[in-house]
């Protein structure tokens, strides 16, 4: 039986050629492919600047450092995300505060976030990390308004949403990660994401100050820029101006990512077509779907359904070769975060969502007949096979 995963990469001959070309060139890392990929990516999301890094988690870590997160500071994020969205605050010594999700969108709830900010003395919180979960864009202008009222920064975790967009309060279309409202946005090029580079990540921003700082931080905090050197001993000279890391992307990865990026819109169109077929198949069944509100263009990294017997459906699908997944176990209930006092019952919407959610196969190369098979098996499990429904 052919296995159908929930997500997978799509590598073409052009991708392979792009990588081979780098292997035959002078630079495997720190070469020209990095800048080219950064520029193309910045253009794609509509941001002024982009900084390529070794993975999405490194991107988050560097953002926390660039924004000077420090011990004693609190940062708000969603419990329904990959753990890295929260962990980056811990790396910098800050405290993670989870606010519950909006059960309609599964995104960080604006009102719950506002309530937390209101209930604490000013200066308690430093920033907010909203997540474009599954590819559903966060209404970032609304978060910006709130952030401004409390003097906070925003990191948009856009790993699920390259190409996604929403209409802001003025009716203008804003692409996820375009830096119009968030200070920084981050992306991942892990193979299950829209654009694959093996491992890889990107930070986008419209802020020149942060862009420059991120460039040092990504490469040991070292600069060779003459205008920034305290001394200059000659051509070999550089200065390490702060404690940075080696979080560079290689040219091999950048070439692959760039080649994939050039097909990103096609992949997005496929994802939306697949979502449309699922939507149609599950309308008026026990399978609950998430429909984006008007003005929101979902990027469909994931196609999430919510069902009464999630555990049963998960097992049923596995037996049929369909490897659906659960995104995510609420981060506040992970043993590491329980150590800080988080417990079951703290965030009821996130916890209820977790009991019922399942991510169905969603990737550009999912064939129509494979999707039909997935739909059939899901409906079968609930005894709602298409035939039975038409008779009813």
Ligand X SMILES: *Cc1c(COP(=O)(O)O)cnc(C)c1O
Residues in contact with ligand X by the rule CB under 6 A = 55-57, 81-82, 84-85, 131, 157, 159-160, 188, 190, 201
Look at the chain and count its residues. Answer: 392
Contacts for 163 with CB less than 8 Å, ≥ 6 apart = 44, 45, 175, 176, 194, 264, 265, 268, 297, 299
To the nearest whole angstrom, how small is the minimum distance from the Cβ of residue 88 to ligand X?
A: 9
Task: Report the alpha-carbon distance of residue 279 to residue 283 in Å, rounded.
Answer: 6
Nearest CB to ligand X, comparing residues 179 and 257: 257
Q: 290 near 105, Cβ under 8 Å? A: yes
Instruction: Say how many C-beta atoms besides its own lie within 10 A of residue 152's C-beta.
Output: 20
Instruction: Say how many C-beta atoms besides its own lie within 10 A of residue 226's C-beta.
Output: 8
To the nearest whole angstrom, how small is the minimum distance from the Cβ of residue 55 to ligand X?
A: 4
Nearest CB to ligand X, comparing residues 258 and 381: 258
Q: 183 near 67, Cβ under 8 Å? A: yes
Query: Going edge to edge, which strands form the sheet with 125-129?
Result: 49-53, 201-205, 184-188, 153-157, 125-129, 74-77, 95-98
Q: Which of 82, 156, 161, 160 is nearest to 329 (CA)?
A: 82
To the nearest whole angstrom, how small is the minimum distance from the Cβ of residue 87 to ligand X?
A: 9
Nearest CB to ligand X, comparing residues 52 and 378: 52
Q: Give the position of tokens 């149609």.
A: 280
Nearest CB to ligand X, comparing residues 323 and 373: 323
Q: Per DSSP, what are the bridge partners of residue 174?
A: 166
To the nearest whole angstrom, how small is the minimum distance from the Cβ of residue 196 to ligand X?
A: 10
Q: Which of 224, 179, 232, 260 is nearest to 13 (CA)?
A: 260
To the nearest whole angstrom, how small is the minimum distance from the Cβ of residue 188 to ligand X?
A: 3
Task: Report the alpha-carbon distance of residue 240 to residue 327 in Å, rounded.
Answer: 40
Across 146-228, the runs of DSSP E, i.e. the strands, are: 153-157, 165-167, 173-175, 184-188, 201-205, 222-223
To the nearest whole angstrom, how small is the minimum distance from the Cβ of residue 262 to ligand X?
A: 20
User: Hey, what are 123's tokens?
Assistant: 């200066």
Nearest CB to ligand X, comparing residues 195 and 366: 195
Nearest CB to ligand X, comparing residues 152 and 299: 299
Nearest CB to ligand X, comparing residues 37 and 381: 37
Nearest CB to ligand X, comparing residues 85 and 139: 85
To the nearest whole angstrom, how small is the minimum distance from the Cβ of residue 52 to ligand X?
A: 12
Q: 4 near 323, Cβ under 8 Å? A: yes
Closest-approach residue to ligand X (CB): 56
To the nearest whole angstrom, how small is the minimum distance from the Cβ of residue 271 to ligand X?
A: 15
Helix (H, G, I), strand (E, B) or coil at 105: coil
Nearest CB to ligand X, comparing residues 166 and 381: 166
Note the maximum CA span of the chain: 84
To the nearest whole angstrom, how small is the minimum distance from the Cβ of residue 253 to ligand X?
A: 11
Burial 339-348 (b: 16+ CB within 10 A, else e): eeebeeebbe
Helix (H, G, I), strand (E, B) or coil at 174: strand
To the nearest whole angstrom, how small is the minimum distance from the Cβ of residue 84 to ligand X?
A: 4
Task: Report the alpha-carbon distance of residue 222 to residue 283 in Å, rounded.
Answer: 55
Nearest CB to ligand X, comparing residues 32 and 198: 198
């Amino acid at each position: 039986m052919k296995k159908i995963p929930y997500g997978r990469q799509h590598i073409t001959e052009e991708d392979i050629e792009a990588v081979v070309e780098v292997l035959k060139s002078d630079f495997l890392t720190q070469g020209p492919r990095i800048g080219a990929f950064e520029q193309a990516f910045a253009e794609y999301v509509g941001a002024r600047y982009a900084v390529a890094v070794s993975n999405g988690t490194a991107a988050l870590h560097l953002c926390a450092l660039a924004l000077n997160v420090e011990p004693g500071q609190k940062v708000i994020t969603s419990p329904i995300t990959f753990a890295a969205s929260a962990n980056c605050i811990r790396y910098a010594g800050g405290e993670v505060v989870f606010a519950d999700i909006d059960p309609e969108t599964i995104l960080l709830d604006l009102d719950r976030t506002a309530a937390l900010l209101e209930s604490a003395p000013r200066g308690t919180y430093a920033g907010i990390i909203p997540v474009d979960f599954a590819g559903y864009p966060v209404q970032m202008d609304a978060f910006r308004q709130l952030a401004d009222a409390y003097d906070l920064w925003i990191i948009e975790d856009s790993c699920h949403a390259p190409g996604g967009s929403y209409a802001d309060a003025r009716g203008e279309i804003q692409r996820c990660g375009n830096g119009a409202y968030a200070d920084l946005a981050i992306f991942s090029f892990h193979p299950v994401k829209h654009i694959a580079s093996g491992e890889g990540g990107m930070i986008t921003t419209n802020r020149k100050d942060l862009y420059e700082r991120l460039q040092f931080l990504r490469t040991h905090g070292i600069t060779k820029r003459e205008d920034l050197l305290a001394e200059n001993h000659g051509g070999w000279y550089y200065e390490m101006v702060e404690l940075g890391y080696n979080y560079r992307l290689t040219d091999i990865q950048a070439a692959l990512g760039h080649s994939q990026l050039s097909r990103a819109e096609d992949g997005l169109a496929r994802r939306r077509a697949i979502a449309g077929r699922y939507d149609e198949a599950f309308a008026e069944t026990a399978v609950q779907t998430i429909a984006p509100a008007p003005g929101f263009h979902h990027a469909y990294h994931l196609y999430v359904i919510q069902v009464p017997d999630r555990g049963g459906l998960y097992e049923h699908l596995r037996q049929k070769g369909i490897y659906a997944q659960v995104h995510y176990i609420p981060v506040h209930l992970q043993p590491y975060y329980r150590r800080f006092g988080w417990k079951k019952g703290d965030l009821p919407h996130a916890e209820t969502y977790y009991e019922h959610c399942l991510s169905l196969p969603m990737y550009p190369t999912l064939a129509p007949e494979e999707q039909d098979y997935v739909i059939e098996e899901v409906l079968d499990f609930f005894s709602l096979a298409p035939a039975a429904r038409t008779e009813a």
